[in-house]
Chains A and B, each alone.
Chain A
Amino acid sequence: MGKDAVAQTQFLQRKDLQTLLDTLIAAGYHCLGPQVRDGAIVYDVLADVSHLPVAVHDQQAPGKYHLHYSQGLRSFAWANGPLALKPLLFSAREVLWSAERDDEGKIQFVQVKPAVQKTAVIGVRSCDLAAMRIQDQVFLEQQYKDENYQARREALFTVAVNCSHPADTCFCASTGDGPTAKSGYDLLLTELDDGFLVAAGSEVGKQIFIQLPLEQASDQQHFIAGEQALHAEQTQTRKLPQAGLAEKLLANLDHPRWQEVAERCLSCGNCTMVCPTCFCHKETEQPQLDGRSTEHLREWDSCFTQGHSYIHGTVIRDDTEKRYRQWLSHKLATWLQQFGNSGCVGCGRCISWCPAAIDLTEEANAIAGDEGD
């Protein structure tokens, strides 16, 4: 945290957290916050802070996610669940346009605009802010802007929370995307035992910030927050290879490890769908039975499907070895050529939510590790 940010950081007592929620709701935001559902922490509609996962903790490992409970007051003492911001901005399934044939046989195309409401998400982690920045690049900063993404993005208010309890699968410290949020949020919270340090990161954030019952934060509170951040960083054990990762991956396209991982990989696509930066999609027609009208549907797709590499009558990546290699080498290497940065933010979701318990960091290290340098 820079000096200015420290100066502008204030303290919100835990009993006043509801005021933050009420202020956002009064400002017209539809509020989403973390809640326990079906054995995981997911974002859901939040009107009452008592619904937050108080004293809930997660245990994550390759292919495993488990919640447990303790005594305590903290609402954010856990690492990310399966859902990132991605589903809120890049819809998993949406109609982009429809077409209708009139009596003369002429076809009219109509753009279908999504119903967008001002939405505030409470509890966003730094890895997901970094991922949102990457998806902004993909959807807003290329030749064509994705209007649906843009509409939702402009309506989004993020209340970030610095990560104090990374999971065993987290490696954001190694990608440089966490555990402390540096930018990209509207409000930033650091949870302490007795309350929250609060900072504003944008003009709209400041509008909410000034309405909160804040107190001056003590040196002691700043010190604890700093220690907490350091601890969150130091407890992470997984990491990506640092030196020349992209070059090494691309120089090892025939490495035997690709075949070994393909024997375990289910090619099911879970990793790409929980990945907060993956943006691949497919588009299909949904014609009405009478043949006069159709809806053009866009859905999340994945480099693990056959359709993804079907080009002119041929499936280019016809086996799992080629598909896994495409996923890993795009994410960690060719993404760099395409967008100027890595496509991985170290959230670890692809590790926890892989039904075959494959660990991306283990594969990357096996193929392009620092060992032997």
Chain B
Amino acid sequence: MLAELVDIVHFAEAGPVEPDARVDIAFVEGSITTAGELQRIQRVRANSRYLITIGACATAGGIQALRNNANVRDWMAAIYAQSEFIDTLETSTAIAEHVRVDFELWGCPISSQQIVAVIRALLFGVVPLQEQDSLCFECKRQGNVCVLVTGQQACMGPVTKAGCGALCPKFGRACYACYGPKENANPDSLSQRFQGFGLLPDEIAHKFLSINNSAPVFAEAGKKAKENGHD
């Protein structure tokens, strides 16, 4: 169905390879980690009418962006026998740090529904809807019992965007914040609550410095929690 509405001109995993084609929509996944990617993202931007990031890596750095707060050379030396052959930048960064991004699909992983909805909206010529509300909305609409309140679990739902269908809380687990910070999030208050549950500052920092660690709101909250631990 999708292929009847749009021409898929570059999608290496599915077959078509045409990296320098001019397109209406470029979906970009992954973060910028090498000098080659740094140049390539400029070409993708120049060739695309709309550039849309897919997932936590492209949108908020992903797991690999955790190294931005460490010395990447030390890490490489600790793991690889001959790390001099590794071609990498010092940092791993979200797409929006390099080029203008028209729309972001948050989530790790995103759902196919998010892709379909954004294409449909652009075909209609309307601005796609961006989910902004907390994960708690999905829990409550489904009738899930709150794991933070009943289990005093360190659930990230109150600061996290909805979108996953509250997958973890539905099975009694605290939210991992895969969909990034919600609009008007209050990580300071949630951090204090976690402290009340007995979490150590480093444990609180890890809650924020996870898949979406480069999202500014989470990055700041993680930094604050770490600083509290060093006071």
Q: Is A307 an interface residue (CB 8 A)?
A: yes
**Least CB distance, A257 to chain B, in whole angstroms:** 16
Chain A residues near B133 (CB-CB < 8 A)? 269, 302, 305-307
The reply to whether the CB of A66 lies closer than 8 angstroms to some CB of chain B is: yes
Residues of chain B with a CB closer than 8 A to A357's CB: 193
Q: Is the CB of A289 within 8 A of B186?
A: no
| B137 CB, nearest partner CB in chain A, Å | 6
Measured CB to CB, the nearest residue on chain B to A37 is B145
Interface residues contributed by chain B, number (CB under 8 Å): 42
Beta-carbon contacts under 8 Å, A205-228 to B? none
Among B129, B144, B183, B190, the residue within 8 A (CB) of A356 is B190
Contact A92 B142 (CB under 8 A): yes
Per the 8 Å Cβ criterion, residues 87-101 of A in contact with B are: 87, 92-93
Hey, which chain B residues are within 8 Å of A266, CB to CB? 134, 158-159, 185-186, 189-190
Interface residue A133 (Cβ < 8 Å from any Cβ of B): no
* B contact residues around A129 at 8 Å (CB): none
User: A139 on the interface (CB 8 Å rule)?
Assistant: no
Query: Given that A65-B149, A287-B120, A353-B149 are contacting pairs, would A274 and B140 also be in contact in the complex, using a CB cutoff of 8 Å?
Result: yes
B159 touches A289 (CB 8 A): no
Interface residue? B116 (CB, 8 A)? yes
The size class of the interface chain A forms with chain B is 35 or more
A355 to B189, CA, bound (A): 10
CB distance A265 to B186 under 8 Å?
yes
Q: B2, A289: Cβ atoms under 8 Å?
A: yes
- Cα(A224)–Cα(B204), bound, Å: 51
Q: Is the CB of B141 within 8 A of A289?
A: no
A64 to B147: give the CA distance in the assembly, Å. 10
How many angstroms from the CA of A287 to the CA of B125 in the assembled complex?
13
How many A-B residue pairs lie within 8 Å, measured between CB atoms? 125
With contacts A273-B141, A319-B184, A352-B149 known, is A38 near B172, CB below 8 A? yes
Given A270-B158, A319-B184, the answer on whether A299 and B141 have CB atoms closer than 8 Å is: yes
Interface flag for B16 (CB, 8 Å): no
> Within 8 Å CB of B185, what residues of A?
266-267
For residue B136, CB closer than 8 A to chain A, the reply is yes
| A291 in contact with B123 given A266-B186, A268-B158, A270-B136 (CB within 8 Å) | yes
Chain B residues numbered 124-154 whose CB sits less than 8 Å from any CB in chain A? 124, 129, 132-134, 136-137, 140-152
Shortest B177–chain A CB gap in Å is 13
Q: Is A40 an interface residue (CB 8 A)?
A: yes
What's the Cα separation between A320 and B184 when bound, in Å?
8
> Are A82 and B186 within 8 A (Cβ)?
no
Closest to A267 in B: B184
Q: Tell me the complex Cα distance, A352–B183, Å.
A: 24
* Interface residue ranges of B150-195 to A (CB < 8 Å): 150-152, 155, 157-159, 172, 182-186, 188-190, 192-193
Interface bits A270-309 vs B (CB < 8 Å: 1, else 0): 1001100000000010010111000000011010011100
Q: Is the CB of B134 within 8 A of A273?
A: no
Q: Which listed residue, B124, B142, B193, touches A63 by the CB 8 Å rule?
A: B193
Q: Closest approach, in angstroms, between the C-beta of B222 and any C-beta of chain A?
A: 17
Residues of B with C-beta under 8 A to A40:
145, 150
The CA-CA distance from A301 to B196 in the complex, in Å, is 29
- Nearest Cβ on chain B to A40's Cβ, whole angstroms: 4
Supply 19 further A-B pairs (C-beta < 8 A) apart from A267-B184, A306-B132.
Answer: A37-B145, A38-B144, A63-B193, A64-B152, A65-B149, A82-B146, A87-B143, A266-B159, A268-B157, A268-B158, A268-B182, A269-B133, A269-B134, A273-B140, A274-B140, A291-B120, A291-B123, A306-B184, A354-B149
Q: Which 7 A-B pairs have the closest CB atoms?
A: A273-B140, A268-B158, A92-B141, A39-B150, A38-B145, A266-B158, A268-B134
5 contacts between A and B (CB under 8 A): A82-B145, A268-B157, A287-B120, A353-B146, A356-B193
